[in-house]
């Protein structure tokens, strides 16, 4: 009986001990859970705060970092605007005139010499030639000029008389400078090497033409019996003429255009006979964005006479082919 009671007391003690231990374990578990919960409540906001600070610092660093991209550095592209076209424009043409036929006469101190020359006759007589024309304008008003100079010298010898007993030698020299300066006004489009079919320009002009002529001829006659005769005449004159004219062009295709030019000067103001004129028509073909190659037919005539100046007079009429290179700017 005593042994049974002792065992019961021991079992009771063990059960109480287990209950106490179990209670202590449960209490410790609750403490750990509360700590864990507290840690979660404290740690999560801290991590969120640290993350927010890190994001803000990264944004500041990106703003302070220099922009290396050309597109970004340039900023937003400005709105496109139409290119302003310059009101200034101009042309320059270098040309050569090849007269297929030249006719005329020269009278100096009552002695007259007539001539009728083909291009094959004129070419060996050519000593020097230069020619250029150009125009510069602002908006539609411009200044036009055409400058040309040519120097010719020709001589011939032949036998004359019933039995060819005389040897005749004749020489003719001529220096001719024509210098035009005029104000112009353009109607239609600006002159250009390339244009739309149907695009046109008409440019009337008015100004002054200055002509400088130096003429001379020599004549000698020698006979078989030491007979001789010689005569020499020289004459030079520079004068100015009022000038009016017009030039026009029309595009047949983007690179091909037809053009024409005509003018008249003098009107008898400087002498009994004082008249000059040009007529020209041709084609121009673009060989670049700003360059044309021009081929045309041209007629040039000058006639002058002054009865008060000992009857000196001259006339020259030429028609032929003109070839030029024209630049647009």
Nearest in space to 173 (alpha carbons), one of 270, 108, 96, 241: 108
Kindly tell me the sign of the dihedral angle through the C-alpha atoms of 202, 203, 209, 211.
negative
Looking at residue 26, its pLDDT comes to: 60
75 pLDDT more than 50: no
Looking at residue 314, its pLDDT comes to: 86
Percent residues over pLDDT 90 in the chain: 49
Looking at residue 234, its pLDDT comes to: 81
**Between residues 23 and 171, the one the model is more confident about:** 171
Distances (CA, A) of 49 to 38, 57, 63: 17, 12, 21
Please, which pLDDT band fits residue 19 given cuts at 50, 70 and 90?
Answer: low
Place of tokens 């017009």: 246
Please, which pLDDT band fits residue 269 given cuts at 50, 70 and 90?
Answer: confident
Q: Give 159: exposed, middle or buried? Use CB within 10 Å, 0-12, 13-18, 19+.
A: exposed
**Between residues 60 and 182, the one the model is more confident about:** 182
**Between residues 11 and 311, the one the model is more confident about:** 311
Looking at residue 42, its pLDDT comes to: 43
Please, which pLDDT band fits residue 27 given cuts at 50, 70 and 90?
Answer: low
96 pLDDT more than 90: yes
297 pLDDT more than 80: yes
Looking at residue 20, its pLDDT comes to: 57
Q: Which of 77-81, 163-167, 203-207 has the lowest mean pLDDT?
A: 77-81
Under 8 Å between Cβ of 231 and 218: yes
Please, which pLDDT band fits residue 227 given cuts at 50, 70 and 90?
Answer: low
250 pLDDT more than 90: yes
3-state secondary structure the chain: CHHHHHHHHHHHHHHHHHHHHHHHHHHHHHHHHHHHHHHHHHHHHHHHHHHHHHHHHHHHHHHHCCCCCHHHHHCCCCCCCCCCCCCEEEEEEEEEEEEEEEEEEEEECCEEEEEEEEHHHHHHHEEEEEEEEEEEEECCEEEEEEEEEEEEEEEEEEEECCCCCEEEEEEEEEEEEEEEEEEEECEECCCCCCCCCCCEEEEEEEEEEEEEEEEEEEEEEEECCCCEEEEEEEEEEEEEEEEEEEEEEEECCCCEEEEEEEEEECCCCCCCEEEEEEEEEEEEEEEECCEEEEEEEEEEEEEEEECCCCCEEEEEEEEEEEEEEEEEC
pTM: 0.69
Nearest in space to 328 (alpha carbons), one of 214, 249, 268, 246: 249
- At 181, list the tokens: 């300066």
Looking at residue 125, its pLDDT comes to: 86
**CA gap 157, 167 in Å, rounded:** 7
Please, which pLDDT band fits residue 192 given cuts at 50, 70 and 90?
Answer: very high
Q: In this predicted model, what pLDDT tens digit does every residue of 128-154 receive, in sequence order? A: 999 999 999 999 999 999 999 999 887
């Amino acid at each position: 009986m005593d042994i049974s009671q002792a065992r019961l007391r021991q079992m009771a003690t063990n059960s109480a001990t287990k209950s106490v231990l179990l209670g202590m374990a449960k209490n410790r578990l609750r403490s750990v859970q509360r700590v864990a919960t507290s840690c979660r409540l404290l740690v999560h906001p801290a991590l969120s705060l640290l993350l927010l600070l890190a994001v803000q610092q990264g944004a500041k660093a990106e703003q302070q970092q220099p922009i290396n991209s050309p597109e970004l550095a340039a900023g937003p592209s400005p709105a496109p605007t139409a290119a302003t076209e310059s009101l200034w424009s101009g042309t320059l043409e270098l040309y050569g005139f090849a007269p297929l036929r030249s006719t005329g006469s020269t009278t100096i101190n009552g002695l007259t010499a007539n001539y009728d020359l083909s291009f094959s006759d004129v070419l060996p007589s050519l000593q020097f030639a230069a020619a250029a024309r150009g125009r510069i304008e602002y908006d539609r008003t411009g200044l036009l000029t055409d400058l040309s100079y040519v120097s010719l010298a020709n001589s011939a010898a032949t036998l004359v008389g019933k039995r060819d007993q005389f040897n005749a030698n004749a020489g003719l020299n001529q220096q001719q400078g024509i210098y035009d300066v005029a104000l112009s006004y353009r109607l239609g489009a600006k002159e250009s090497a390339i244009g739309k079919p149907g695009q046109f320009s008409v440019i009337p002009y008015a100004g002054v033409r200055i002509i400088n002529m130096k003429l001379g001829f020599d004549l000698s006659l020698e006979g078989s019996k030491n007979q001789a005769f010689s005569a020499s005449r020289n004459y030079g004159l520079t004068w100015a003429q009022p000038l009016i004219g017009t030039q026009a062009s029309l595009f047949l295709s983007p690179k091909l255009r037809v053009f024409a030019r005509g003018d008249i000067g003098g009107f008898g103001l400087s002498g009994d006979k004082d008249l000059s004129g040009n007529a020209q028509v041709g084609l121009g073909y673009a060989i670049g964005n700003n360059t044309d190659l021009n081929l045309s037919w041209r007629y040039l005539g000058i006639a002058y006479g002054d009865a008060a100046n000992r009857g000196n007079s001259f006339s020259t009429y030429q028609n032929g082919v003109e070839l030029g290179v024209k630049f647009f700017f």
